[in-house]
Chains A and B, each alone.
Chain A
């Protein structure tokens, strides 16, 4: 097991708080995109710190695919209640019922792509002009090119060739009516930074990040959680394994890893010696080499 002497670089926290305060100052209707995963939990803590002792001056938005881990939803509701936050939930199922999107079929069916439409509808419904998200540049090569303030046109699209230069720490959030800005305060954090922060701040996280027993099956060399939302073929036997999740997304596109990590230090050790990246467990990224860039172009965050 790797020995870690790593500690969290405080400079990253100062930077993130600065960015979140800029959002509150520059925009009329910001919102924090909350999935219940570790990155958005980190964002909530940073927002709390940014405005303390005042309340976080914007709501949380969860785009619910309906295919969530129930542990995540339970955790979300608890956190919102404890901190007295305002939570807005919009459902992909509603977008399907309104026939704005069509459910995918086949064994790789997922609602990951569909949630973009629900997100864009929510942005329009509430008139959000800034959406704070927990994306990090180290996650994925298209995300490595993202700005901290990422301007999206009135269709929510990202244009990689028209990004605003960001010089020193000056953030320009000026937009035309209908446009919005995606803001990424933890752009410069790595997966390890997030875990070290969670440890230092003693933040609670959903139980699925820790090793637990679960019904799973193997597909394309990955361990997937079994659920009613999954189409499992006959040659994919379901077995109980001790696993944990490194990233929390839609159940249909998040792979598990076999693990014995029961404490946060175990998780940090595991990440330090991991040979597979975090997004390696995201089936949504594997659709093509440019899967992330293409989704961003259509309004994904």
Chain B
């Protein structure tokens, strides 16, 4: 069974919680005791309806203020697929949470209130979906019941959205629109009788049909070494395997490979999973690799097929989203964590601050503040083996860590 990861963002008002609540309810993913608990809380708050946002707003502070602050993870499944929703807040102040929630998504689900049409948050959410190269975007035009289920409203929103989208989308990204009424369940699981003019599939079938990123296996093979397994037992006296998760592409038994940074060449002797031998391993698989020759390899090194070398450099240029209250400045030093490889880094230049709503760019900037996105150049203490994010997501991103606080302060998508 495969897993589809969905990122959603938005405010309480656009009906996102109601939509998610209904998906859970209709797929039998929410139990009576949980429903009763939120019914009771809704009553306690003096509401005359069941506030489904209480399902996902799990923190005291969120319930107090009636807003989503942090990413919540929601799970449901159908006989076809398991779904994980990363439900994130939509306001500017929470851009970093949106980026975090969307970083692993296969699908971005954007909600638009049919009465209000496209708003600032819609643009922000879409921009971030493009920045993170999410291959599929589903725009749910919600609350169709409040606009008389008219096709014209739907079409107008669609054109307005596309006018913005054409400026930022990337080649191959698919965008679908669907008119829904989450209050009445229209076009969620079943086609809505009020909107015969909509010929597409209901939301859940759409989600069941989204193709998962098959291209991962077509990408270059990247194997970051995570851990060296050496049992040193009598039975496995000379056993030495390199454990890790295939970042992208395919690795095959018998294949010639290069170990980076040493540059030594060898052959994959065996690929194992818990003692079971397999012929090939693909992206996302956690495996152990045994090599033909004794090569010096440690955590952070990368094993790649001979004819598929990554870029290697100590100078990186990346689009960075900043996530810390203390701004990023030129000259600042941080740790860069690229996959499982960590190196010291110094910021050498900062430019191109982007306003994700107006798309205005500011070339000359001196610092990058919380939630801002700009182009950053940095120099690392050792060579990084990377691909451009646009070519290979798994090997094209890094996080920045503040050495004093140990906090994760930024994310970079390598240009």
Interface presence of A100 (CB below 8 A) = no
Interface presence of A60 (CB below 8 A) = no
Contact between chains at A22 and B31 (CB < 8 Å):
no
Contact between chains at B73 and A276 (CB < 8 Å):
no
Interface presence of A190 (CB below 8 A) = yes
Interface presence of B121 (CB below 8 A) = no
Where chain A touches its partner, the secondary structure class is loop
Count of B interface residues, CB-CB < 8 Å: 70
Contact between chains at B75 and A138 (CB < 8 Å):
yes
Instruction: Find residues 35-60 in chain B having any chain A CB closer than 8 Å to their own CB.
Output: 37, 41, 55-60
Contact of B286 among A14, A24, A137, A166 (CB under 8 A): A14
Interface presence of A83 (CB below 8 A) = no
Q: Which of B2, B34, B75 has the most chain A CB atoms inside 10 A of its CB?
A: B75
Please give me the residue from chain A that is nearest to B401 by CB atom: A172
Question: Which residues of chain A are within 8 angstroms of B73 by Cβ–Cβ distance?
Answer: 137-138, 144, 187-188
Instruction: Find residues 114-164 in chain A having any chain B CB closer than 8 Å to their own CB.
Output: 137-138, 140-145, 160-161, 163-164
Known: A54-B230, A168-B104, A277-B31. A22 touches B61 (CB 8 A): no
Interface presence of A170 (CB below 8 A) = yes
Known: A14-B245, A54-B230, A277-B33. A145 touches B3 (CB 8 A): no
Interface presence of A176 (CB below 8 A) = yes
From residue A147, how far is it (CB to closest CB) to chain B in Å? 9
Question: Which residues of chain A are within 8 angstroms of B323 by Cβ–Cβ distance?
Answer: 165
From residue B328, how far is it (CB to closest CB) to chain A in Å? 15
Interface presence of B229 (CB below 8 A) = yes
Interface presence of A253 (CB below 8 A) = no
Contact between chains at B227 and A24 (CB < 8 Å):
yes
Binds A, one of B152-160, B182-190, B304-312, B405-413: B405-413
Q: Mark B98-142, 1 if CB is under 8 A from A, else 0.
A: 011001100000000000000000000000000000000000000
Contact between chains at A169 and B104 (CB < 8 Å):
yes
Contact of A7 among B1, B104, B288, B398 (CB under 8 A): B1
Per the bound structure, the CA–CA distance linking A199 and B131 in Å amounts to: 40
Known: A18-B245, A190-B75. A289 touches B37 (CB 8 A): yes
Known: A14-B286, A54-B230, A176-B406. A276 touches B31 (CB 8 A): yes
Contact between chains at B340 and A6 (CB < 8 Å):
no
Please give me the residue from chain B that is nearest to A141 by CB atom: B58
Contact between chains at B233 and A53 (CB < 8 Å):
yes
Please give me the residue from chain B that is nearest to A143 by CB atom: B58
Known: A137-B73, A160-B61, A277-B34. A168 touches B394 (CB 8 A): yes
Contact of A21 among B77, B82, B244 (CB under 8 A): B244
Known: A9-B3, A164-B408. A14 touches B100 (CB 8 A): no
Interface presence of B197 (CB below 8 A) = no
Interface presence of B266 (CB below 8 A) = no
Per the bound structure, the CA–CA distance linking A168 and B128 in Å amounts to: 14
Q: Mark A44-82, 1 if CB is under 8 A from B, else 0.
A: 000011111111000000000000000000000000000
Question: Which residues of chain A are within 8 angstroms of B59 by Cβ–Cβ distance?
Answer: 142, 145, 160, 293
Contact of B61 among A161, A170, A187 (CB under 8 A): A161
Interface presence of A99 (CB below 8 A) = no
From residue A47, how far is it (CB to closest CB) to chain B in Å? 11
Please give me the residue from chain A that is nearest to B73 by CB atom: A137
From residue B228, how far is it (CB to closest CB) to chain A in Å? 9
Interface presence of B275 (CB below 8 A) = yes
Per the bound structure, the CA–CA distance linking A138 and B24 in Å amounts to: 12
Please give me the residue from chain A that is nearest to B397 by CB atom: A168
Interface presence of B297 (CB below 8 A) = no
Instruction: Find residues 1-16 in chain B having any chain A CB closer than 8 Å to their own CB.
Output: 1-3
Please give me the residue from chain A that is nearest to B232 by CB atom: A54
Contact of A145 among B31, B72, B79, B96 (CB under 8 A): B72
Per the bound structure, the CA–CA distance linking A145 and B72 in Å amounts to: 5
Question: Which residues of chain B are within 8 angstroms of A5 by Cβ–Cβ distance?
Answer: 79
Known: A21-B226, A24-B227, A275-B31. A49 touches B96 (CB 8 A): no
Contact between chains at A22 and B100 (CB < 8 Å):
no
Binds A, one of B172-180, B235-243, B350-358, B380-388: B235-243
Contact between chains at B100 and A25 (CB < 8 Å):
no
Interface presence of B372 (CB below 8 A) = no
Please give me the residue from chain B that is nearest to A292 by CB atom: B58
Per the bound structure, the CA–CA distance linking A172 and B274 in Å amounts to: 26
Known: A53-B233, A144-B56, A145-B70. A11 touches B2 (CB 8 A): yes
Chain B positions near chain A (C-beta within 8 angstroms): 1-3, 31-34, 37, 41, 55-61, 63, 69-75, 77, 79, 82, 84, 96-97, 99-100, 103-104, 226-227, 229-233, 235-236, 239, 243-245, 273-275, 284-286, 288, 299, 323, 335, 337, 339-340, 393-394, 397-399, 401, 406-408, 411
Apart from the given pairs A17-B245, A190-B75, 15 other A-B contacts in the complex at a CB distance below 8 Å: A8-B1, A9-B1, A9-B2, A11-B2, A25-B227, A50-B243, A50-B286, A144-B56, A165-B97, A165-B411, A174-B406, A175-B406, A188-B73, A277-B33, A280-B31
Chain A positions near chain B (C-beta within 8 angstroms): 5-9, 11-15, 17-18, 21-22, 24-25, 48-55, 137-138, 140-145, 160-161, 163-170, 172, 174-176, 187-188, 190, 192-193, 274-277, 280, 289-290, 293
